[in-house]
């Protein structure tokens, strides 16, 4: 996870300095199956690899004990175009999403953060826990989910620091991670305390959201990449559609923050939000890291 978090720093920097070439992903609704297909290519100028990720999101799968996300990544040589590897898209998606939250938590959360809440109990939630524990010495992580059996199963994969929680746990949280398929806000602004950092990674369609409008208005909001966010970041687009928010209100991209072009947290009382819809350059960074490590074995 530590290596993955470092790789995310390079990935977000490449987005903000325009060395990443990431066309808009193809979003194919499969409404009769309550599903969504995404096709996502990426390349970084001067890089060794070209990547495309094909992902299927089937929203009914979890209730049938199947993975929400399935997919595959094809990595190719950028010089001669030769295919080099197929990789499991599901695991890389979880790893890069968790690592991105880990990076955002490292640079935006209060350094003395001790308690966290993770909303969601799937594979994405697992990597969120791994990532935030990598960058902060936490005393408590509470997991909230609709299915208590899944919540307990997730908690059992960690030590006793990770336990099931309830909505009331939010009021004490220094860090909150949301990794769900919810189409409506998971909690209200009044449910959280000043100074909290939030990683919102579950919503990636224009009409879905995990955070409420008042929270977006009150927080310092950072995103992964501006152009696709303007089409897919429902957490921001819905408040804009309500006429009470605008893109000028966001702080900027995480890569701009890494490069020192914009400010981060300036007070222990700031509420900070990293709103991520996911970007193919993140997958490219992890896939590149994996193949490089394999080459050294």
- Within this chain, do residues 82 and 154 fall inside the same structural domain, yes or no? no
**CB atoms inside a 10 Å sphere around CB 110:** 18
Full residue range of the structural domain in which residue 229 is found: 97-279
- Within this chain, do residues 77 and 132 fall inside the same structural domain, yes or no? no
The predicted pLDDT at position 76 comes to 98
- Within this chain, do residues 186 and 267 fall inside the same structural domain, yes or no? yes
- Within this chain, do residues 10 and 126 fall inside the same structural domain, yes or no? no
- Within this chain, do residues 166 and 228 fall inside the same structural domain, yes or no? yes
The predicted pLDDT at position 25 comes to 86
Distance CA 292, CA 278 (A): 23
> Which CATH number fits the domain that encloses residue 110?
3.40.50.720
- Within this chain, do residues 77 and 101 fall inside the same structural domain, yes or no? no
- Within this chain, do residues 225 and 112 fall inside the same structural domain, yes or no? yes
One-letter-per-residue 3-state SS of 34-51: CEEEEEEEEEECCCCEEE
The DSSP secondary-structure symbol of 81 reads -
Domain tally for the chain?
2
Looking at the predicted structure, is the pLDDT value of residue 67 above 90?
Answer: no
Summarised one tens digit per residue, pLDDT across range 278-294 is 999 999 999 999 999 88
Considering all CA atoms of the chain, what is the largest pairwise distance in Å, rounded to the nearest integer?
A: 55
pLDDT band at 62 (very low <50, low <70, confident <90, very high): confident
Q: What totals of helices (H) and strands (E) does the chain contain, helices first?
A: 9, 14
* Cβ 68 vs Cβ 61: under 8 Å: yes
Q: What amino acid positions are annotated as catalytic residues?
A: 53
Tell me the pTM: 0.92
pLDDT band at 63 (very low <50, low <70, confident <90, very high): confident
CA torsion through residues 5, 7, 8, 9, sign = positive
Task: Give the pairing type, strands 272-275 and 197-200.
Answer: parallel
Nearest C-alpha neighbor of 71 from the set 49, 50, 85, 86: 86
- Within this chain, do residues 240 and 252 fall inside the same structural domain, yes or no? yes
């Amino acid at each position: 996870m530590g290596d993955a978090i470092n790789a995310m720093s390079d990935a977000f920097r490449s987005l903000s300095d325009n060395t990443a070439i990431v066309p808009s992903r193809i979003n194919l609704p499969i409404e009769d199956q309550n599903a969504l297909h995404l096709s996502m290519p990426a390349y970084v100028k001067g890089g060794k690899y070209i990547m495309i990720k094909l992902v299927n999101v089937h929203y009914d799968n979890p209730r049938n004990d199947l993975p929400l996300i399935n997919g595959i990544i094809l990595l190719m040589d950028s010089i001669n175009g030769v295919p080099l590897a197929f990789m499991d898209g599901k695991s890389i998606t979880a790893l890069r999403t968790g690592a991105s939250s880990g990076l955002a938590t490292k640079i935006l959360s209060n350094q003395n953060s001790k308690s966290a809440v993770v909303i969601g109990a799937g594979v994405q939630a697992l990597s969120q826990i791994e990532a935030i524990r990598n960058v902060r010495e936490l005393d408590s992580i509470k997991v909230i989910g609709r299915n208590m059996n899944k919540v307990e199963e997730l908690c059992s994969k960690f030590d006793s620091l990770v336990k099931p929680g309830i909505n009331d746990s939010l009021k004490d949280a220094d860090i909150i991670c949301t990794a769900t398929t919810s189409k409506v806000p998971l909690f209200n602004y009044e449910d959280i305390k000043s100074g909290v950092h939030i990683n919102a990674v579950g919503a990636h369609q224009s009409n879905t959201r995990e955070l409420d409008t008042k929270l977006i208005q009150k927080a310092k909001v950072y995103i992964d990449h501006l152009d696709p966010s303007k089409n897919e970041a429902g957490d921001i687009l819905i408040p804009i559609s309500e006429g009470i928010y605008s893109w000028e209100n966001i702080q900027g991209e995480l890569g701009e923050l890494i490069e020192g072009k914009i400010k981060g947290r300036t007070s222990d009382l700031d509420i900070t939000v990293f709103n991520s819809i996911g970007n193919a350059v993140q997958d490219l960074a992890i896939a590149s890291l994996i193949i490089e490590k394999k080459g050294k074995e």
